[in-house]
Structure 1
Amino acid sequence: MESLYSMKQQNQLTMAPIPELIRQIAIPASIGFFFNTMYNVVDTYFGGLISTQVQAALSLSFPIFFIIIAMGSGMATGTTALIATAIGEGNLQQARLFAVQGIAFGVILSFFLTVIGLLSAPFLFSLLGASESYLEICLNYMNTIFFGAPFFMLTYMLNAILNALGNTKPYRNFLVAGFFLNLVFDPWFIYGGLGIPPMRTLGIAIATVLIQLIGSIYLGTRVFQSGILKGSQWTELHPRKKTFQEIARQGFPASANTFTVGLGIFVITYFISKFGKEAVAGYGIATRVEQIALLPTIGLNIATLTIVAQNNGARLFGRIHEAVKTALLYGGAVMSLGTAGVFMFAENLMGFFTQDPPVIEHGTTYLKIASFVLYAYTIMYINIAALQGIKKPMFAIWIGLYRQIVAPIIVFYALIHLLDLGIKGIWWGIFSVTWSATGITLLYSRRLLRKNLALCSDQRV
């Protein structure tokens, strides 16, 4: 197996043409996350075959599941930025240390997530309106997921290392394989067979944890094959205060930003739940469709973060500016197609997942409005990724708090109760809050990136 950590590849992200690099990193990542979203679609589909209540329970579980996603993806983002910056600086020993310590940090963090999650889940579900059998289904699913938190964190941190190297293909391979495994595991574990008893909702959760375990083994193998850990010792896994602090300083703001997304979904779900389980289920299904449309954004985010971080380490600020501009152009082209597709086929897309008319109606209304928010997300996410790449992660927290918690609570209440728009007030609230947050992010990011560019006039572009 060829080493992915050669000097040639180390220099690639600081020398190769920016458009080529963005395509090279973003396309595999986007393909992988397409299958990851379809993975969630499989869960939603089979949950609906059990009952609408189970489908609603999976939707209700998502804000709490997002705790793991927030911590994992956030810490991975911070770790990627640190490793990539060290590579750009030519400090390969420091890059290796961040890689090893990142793995240790993730594993330790996962055990805290498991304990806190198990203790807090009953209260959080009750706050969202779950009770009796509905609450039991939610806890049955979510408690199993929390027990599997170490495997989730391992896949995130191992992928962070590969992302820093500009190699998004292994994670793509895992996500594609995970989708097909889920197609087999979900019906098998739900209905039983071949020595496995019927587990219904519990089976969906066990399938997810098992696939994460398989992914940890595969990604771990690819990280070792990359050569970045060459020369490392087991003793380097022992927590180092200074390195842990640096990982936390870069990772926790990114985690907090992602965590605010989970809180935002919690806030949205809280308001939607006042309109019934059908509204919750409709929103849950619609967000799956929205995620599919936004998949290219994920790839562009990863490409922007990796390219910006390595070029920031190499102090090639002109390439940073070019990377952001190119990513936004690609995002605009793709999202124009996404907007048209989601708007025109909203009802058909909802009908693929459910035959319940009220659920379809709620989801269709949301998607027709949300289709015009897709490029706002693209602009915001790419600029936040650029800020994280230059090791300026704190802005993400403040804009996250604004757009996910503070503004929605005020805007939703005003549109629902003062303007009497009903559930449409939530949909239009999401539209207005997201675009306002995007405007703020764009202004701040441009100011900071221009400041960085002005700091260095002698650079290679």
Structure 2
Amino acid sequence: MRQDRIDAMRYEIVEGHIERTLIRLAWPLIINNMVQVLYNLTDTFWLGKLGKEQLSAPGTAWPLVWFIMSLGMGFATAGFAFVSQYIGAQEYEKANKAAGALYSLMLIFSIAVAVIGVLITPFAMKFMNVTSEVYPYAVNYTRVIFLGIPFSFTLFAFNFLLRAVGDTKTPVKINIFTVFLNIILDPIFIFGWFGFPKLGVVGAAVATMLSNTVGSLIGGYLLFTGKVGIHITSETLMPDIELYFKMFRVGLPASVGGSTDAFGFVVLTRIIYTYGTVAFATYSITNRLTNFMFAFANGISQAMGTMIGQNVGAERYERAKKIAERAMLINLIILGLGTAIIVIFRAQIFSFFIKDEAILAESVKVVRYFSASLPFFGIFSAVTNVFQSSGHTKKSMILGMLRLWGLRIPLSYSLGKVMGDSTGVWIGMGLSNVISALIGFAWFLRGSWMRRIVE
């Protein structure tokens, strides 16, 4: 590890001006998120040309993919917490060792995830109550995505490790390249341009898999050659039972929380499909729009996570609390403005993706009863990020389960049944964001997360 570079980044994060450092770390992440959202919007745009059934396939697939992936993503969260806190404590060799352990664990786990995912996809789609017209598209799309999971996992590991160090620019450069590659490949494989076979929905999945593979290989090269802040070697990849146990202990709650959260969205998909393909297609477009808004908010939250991790590692707890509060205020403003734009230009925005009167009518309900809760979700997201970055993953697990299983699913299901319409679902989703954000913020203020997990 190039210690002079790490020392300089650490000093700015632990001692420097909070807002200036937060923005410096956040702007590459915001650009990265924006480019990712651009891909998602492009994906939705091209598939919308095929029809609402094809457009619904990725939105149907991702709750299942996210559920399976979340089982391993908890280890990435644990690795981030250990690496960032070791750097905050100036234990650089231990940071390298933790990085190697994370990379090897992610690689092994991802292979198992890929096999399991391909096998269970048809059964999962039936469980989600996917309509018959969407089912074949969703199954084929999902299976291709699962085949590329090992490359997705190792690319995630690369992003987490460099963000823990404070290097937010290098991962962004790679991600921008892979996303633009994805954007180029999308219509080529979907429509069979330039002599390639016309693959339809599967073409979108193939484009995603290929671009993630390229990004993963570039990231792996940089880590193993030591050209970035973290240097993984054959020695750091060797099994370390004690370190694995520590990562397992910290990562398990994050894995359980993430997977139960993701499974909740599988159940939510089933609930929404009860009201037909139109309701789910509208929900899919809404997700793309909220992702656009959260490109900014998530960039701030991710930068905040790096600063929280290193300041907690340096035992600068009051500074960590101040950083979190500044980030939450910025996110509240960003998401408030974004929500206002969606409300004002709803008809034009939804019509851009697909000109369907039924979907346009459904969008009125979604915007009216769900979109207003998004600023609250920004607070909720920031609080869970604070808990995870400080290594207190049990708190984020409990808060996530409360939002989804204690509030969103029962409220959406019961209000939908009582009202006999999808309006109840959107109201339930909105209420879950508001209530969980207020509970999470109160828990954050108690300060029980202000304790580091490294020696």
Moved more, 114-123 or 205-214: 114-123
Amino acid across the alignment from 1:215 = G
CA contact (8 A) 2:371 2:430 kept: no
Corresponding residue of 1:446: 445
Corresponding residue of 2:293: 293
Distance in 1, Cα, partners of 2:4 & 2:58: 39
Corresponding residue of 2:280: 280
Amino acid across the alignment from 1:116 = I
Q: Deviations over 1:113-137 (max 9, x none)?
A: 1122122111110112236663322
SS of equivalent to 1:315: coil
Corresponding residue of 2:178: 178
Distance in 1, Cα, partners of 2:71 & 2:104: 14
CA contact (8 A) 1:4 1:227 kept: no
* TM-score between the two structures when normalised by the length of structure 2: 0.93
Corresponding residue of 1:153: 153
Corresponding residue of 1:168: 168
Q: Deviations over 1:323-375 (max 9, x none)?
A: 11111121122122112112111222111111111122223421233331121
* TM-score between the two structures when normalised by the length of structure 1: 0.92
CA contact (8 A) 1:190 1:198 kept: yes
Distance in 1, Cα, partners of 2:336 & 2:65: 30
SS of equivalent to 1:294: helix
Corresponding residue of 1:252: 252
Distance in 2, Cα, partners of 1:31 & 1:261: 27
Aligned residues: 450
> 1:185 deviation in Å?
0.5
RMSD: 2.2
What pairs with 1:329-408 in structure 2 (closer than 5 Å)?
329-408=329-408
Distance in 1, Cα, partners of 2:332 & 2:286: 22
Q: Deviations over 1:165-207 (max 9, x none)?
A: 1111122223322332222201111222445322222211111
1:424 aligns with 2:420: no
What pairs with 1:65-144 in structure 2 (closer than 5 Å)?
65-67=65-67, 69-71=69-71, 73-130=73-130, 134-144=134-144
> 1:43 deviation in Å?
1.7
Amino acid across the alignment from 2:383 = N
Distance in 1, Cα, partners of 2:439 & 2:364: 29
> 1:449 deviation in Å?
4.8
Amino acid across the alignment from 2:402 = Y
SS of equivalent to 1:130: coil
Q: Deviations over 1:35-89 (max 9, x none)?
A: 1122122222222222321112222112112135534654322211110000111
SS of equivalent to 2:236: helix
Distance in 2, Cα, partners of 1:233 & 1:348: 52
CA contact (8 A) 1:75 1:157 kept: no
Moved more, 55-64 or 214-223: 214-223
Corresponding residue of 1:238: 238
CA contact (8 A) 1:321 1:449 kept: no
CA contact (8 A) 2:96 2:236 kept: no
Moved more, 283-292 or 330-339: 330-339
Q: Deviations over 1:187-238 (max 9, x none)?
A: 1112224453222222111110110011112323444312421xx5313313
> 1:141 deviation in Å?
1.0
Going from structure 1 to structure 2, the CA distance change for 1:281 and 1:141 (only over 3 Å counts) comes to same
Q: Which runs of 5+ in 1 are unaligned?
A: 454-461
Distance in 1, Cα, partners of 2:94 & 2:388: 19
Distance in 1, Cα, partners of 2:108 & 2:356: 43
CA contact (8 A) 2:312 2:451 kept: no
Distance in 2, Cα, partners of 1:174 & 1:192: 26
CA contact (8 A) 1:5 1:226 kept: no
Amino acid across the alignment from 2:56 = A
